[in-house]
């Protein structure tokens, strides 16, 4: 939705702050504004108009002297207005404004009341609070400069050269000067020993449908990212059903190297089945390599998986915004919740499988969510993620791990999600898609993309440079030429040690080949035969 920047402390030059905020103007191309409080603190906002196009300008003042900036969407804002905030007078119809009123009503203790994706800062005199949504769907960084001023920003690039130290703001927390970081999101599912339950297929279907429905809230057109895989196809199907009676068109978007890329073929089939207005985007490997430098600047990471997958998503997002679409639904989270990645097949036990799903969900903000936000917001496009709805998470993660493990169903990953939407009388998807094996997004756009990318990076890094990698990059030392190349580009833009420390690398567990591509898993050799041709009934 936006880019926010807040500086707590006096004496910062207003013109400089505007320049710092403009470094992330891509996040909010519609409007920009800045407010200096009576105490000298500064709030800046780069706006992408989604809700309340006319009066929702930020920063927003509450009913007192409190001011706020917010990035994201609060899906239950109307409910909050009608209940706990019914005595408040609002200046706008924006979903964002409820945050400052909740602060005025409840002090620091209100983040758990918000249903949505968000980062925010509220300043009230010399008091302030900053917060981030439960899983970190929206990015936030914080730092301190050499004069003790506190910074909060949607992207690292706005504060990296201003702060002596900075870091990633932890999801599910709020921060105040009086309390430090406070964890407000404490779901039962975070404890692997608690609350495992039997699968309820109808509840899965109902709760995910509700999650999609609330994410259709918008005053602008909405689209869906449709890779042709299970997750994006399901969210697209649900959205199509919900919008069918409204008369509003649903635009779907897919990308591949060419028309025969695995994802493009599958997406075409789904779009025809659902009756969406489908748009297919192609990019060349040369174009992908050409934008790597700019992409890494946008992503603010050197993680191999994130960069591989973000390249096609970057091109796709550009094409979507050119069509006038500002909001899309995306399928992030399902693989982590249900153990959908192929390496999950190798889990030594149900308990370890379950713990890995929890760990992956908790760390999504370092990888897939970072990619989903920054590769879309690079073009002023907002991605919403129904699978990470709080209510759906509470239901789905607590399902007995034995019910999720692929070996329980002859190797079919995410079986219970597929089965929940296997309704032959009113099918959500064609069987060929509902039972299609997992393709990681970076693979599904066309297998030549990853292979050529690896070759290119190898041509840019010498054997001697890789051998001396630990001397140049002692923290998170890259182990391959591809990783070394990405790290070098990242270091050019963000040379600070604090910047390097914000990145978390991920490699799959329980398999000899540690390349993050899904094709590195032995199970992938059956991709075209094992699942798409069988439908298991238990």
Catalytic residues: 2
Q: How far apart are CA 136 and CA 538, in angstroms?
A: 36
Q: How far apart are CA 227 and CA 316, in angstroms?
A: 11
Which of 424, 440, 488 has the alpha carbon at shortest distance from 462? 488
Do 185 and 172 meet the contact criterion of CB atoms below 8 Å apart? yes
Q: What is the DSSP string of 6-26?
A: EEESS---HHHHHHHHHTTGG
Q: How far apart are CA 191 and CA 527, in angstroms?
A: 34
What count of Cα atoms within 13 Å lies in the side-chain half-sphere of residue 477? 10
Do 429 and 273 meet the contact criterion of CB atoms below 8 Å apart? yes
Relative to beta strand 327-329, strand 382-384 is parallel
Q: Which residues contact 29 (CB under 8 A, 6 or more apart)?
A: 46, 48, 380
CB burial readout 168-197, b (16+ within 10 A) else e: bbbbbbbbbeeeeebebbebebeebeeebe
Q: How far apart are CA 413 and CA 407, in angstroms?
A: 8
Task: Tell me the Ramachandran region of residue 410: left when phi exceeds 0, alpha when psi lies from -120 to 50, beta otherwise.
Answer: left
Which of 83, 71, 505, 159 has the alpha carbon at shortest distance from 304? 505
Q: How far apart are CA 386 and CA 22, in angstroms?
A: 30
Q: How far apart are CA 264 and CA 255, in angstroms?
A: 6
DSSP lists the bridge partners of residue 254 as 280
Which of 399, 369, 398 has the alpha carbon at shortest distance from 385? 369
Integer Rg of the chain from CA = 23
- CA 324 to chain CA centroid, Å, is 21
DSSP lists the bridge partners of residue 130 as 121, 175
């Amino acid at each position: 939705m936006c880019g926010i920047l807040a500086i707590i402390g006096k004496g910062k030059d207003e013109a400089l702050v505007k320049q710092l905020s403009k470094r992330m103007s891509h996040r909010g191309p519609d409007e920009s504004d800045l407010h200096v409080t009576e105490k000298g603190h500064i709030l800046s906002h780069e706006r992408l108009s989604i809700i309340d196009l006319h009066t929702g300008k930020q920063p927003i003042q509450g009913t007192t002297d409190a001011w706020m900036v917010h990035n994201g969407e609060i899906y239950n804002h109307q409910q909050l207005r009608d209940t706990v905030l019914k005595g408040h007078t609002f200046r706008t119809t924006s979903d964002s404004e409820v945050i400052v009123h909740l602060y005025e009503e409840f002090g620091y203790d209100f983040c758990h009341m918000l249903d949505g994706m968000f980062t925010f800062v509220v300043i009230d005199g010399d008091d302030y609070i900053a917060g981030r949504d439960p899983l970190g769907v929206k990015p936030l960084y914080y730092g301190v400069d050499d004069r003790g001023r506190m910074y909060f920003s949607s992207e690292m690039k706005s504060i990296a050269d201003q702060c002596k130290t900075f870091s990633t703001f932890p999801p599910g927390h709020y921060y105040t000067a009086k309390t430090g970081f406070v964890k407000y999101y404490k779901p039962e599912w975070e404890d692997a020993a608690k609350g495992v339950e039997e699968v309820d297929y109808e509840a899965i279907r109902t709760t995910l449908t509700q999650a999609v429905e609330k994410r259709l809230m918008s005053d602008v057109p909405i689209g869906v990212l449709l890779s042709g895989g299970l997750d994006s196809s399901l969210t697209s199907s649900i959205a199509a059903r919900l919008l069918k009676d409204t008369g509003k068109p649903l635009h779907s978007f897919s990308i591949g190297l060419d028309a025969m890329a695995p994802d493009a073929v599958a997406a075409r089939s789904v779009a025809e089945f659902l009756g969406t207005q489908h748009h297919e985007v192609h990019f060349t490997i040369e174009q992908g390599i050409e934008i790597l430098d700019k992409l890494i600047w946008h992503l603010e990471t050197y993680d191999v998986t994130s960069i591989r997958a973000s390249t096609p998503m970057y091109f796709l997002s550009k094409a979507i915004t050119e069509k006038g679409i500002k909001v899309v639904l995306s399928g992030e989270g399902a693989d982590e919740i249900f153990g959908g990645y192929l390496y999950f097949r190798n889990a030594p036990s149900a308990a370890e499988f379950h713990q890995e799903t929890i760990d992956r969900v908790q760390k999504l903000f370092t990888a897939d969510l970072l990619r989903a936000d920054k590769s879309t917001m690079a073009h002023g496009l907002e991605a919403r993620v129904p699978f990470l709805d709080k209510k759906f998470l509470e239901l789905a993660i607590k399902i007995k791990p034995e019910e999720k493990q692929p070996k329980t169903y002859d190797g079919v990953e995410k079986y219970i999600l597929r089965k929940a939407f296997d309704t032959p009388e009113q099918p959500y998807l064609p069987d060929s898609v509902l039972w299609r094996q997992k393709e990681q997004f970076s693979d599904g756009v066309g297998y030549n993309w990853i292979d050529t990318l690896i070759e290119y990076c190898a041509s840019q890094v010498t054997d001697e440079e890789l051998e001396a990698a630990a001397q140049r990059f002692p923290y998170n030392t890259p182990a391959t030429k591809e990783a070394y190349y990405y790290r070098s580009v990242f270091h050019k833009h963000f040379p600070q040690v604090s910047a390097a420390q914000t990145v978390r690398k991920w490699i799959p567990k329980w398999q000899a080949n540690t390349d993050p591509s899904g094709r590195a898993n032995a199970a992938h050799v059956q991709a075209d035969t094992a699942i798409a041709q069988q439908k298991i009934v238990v």
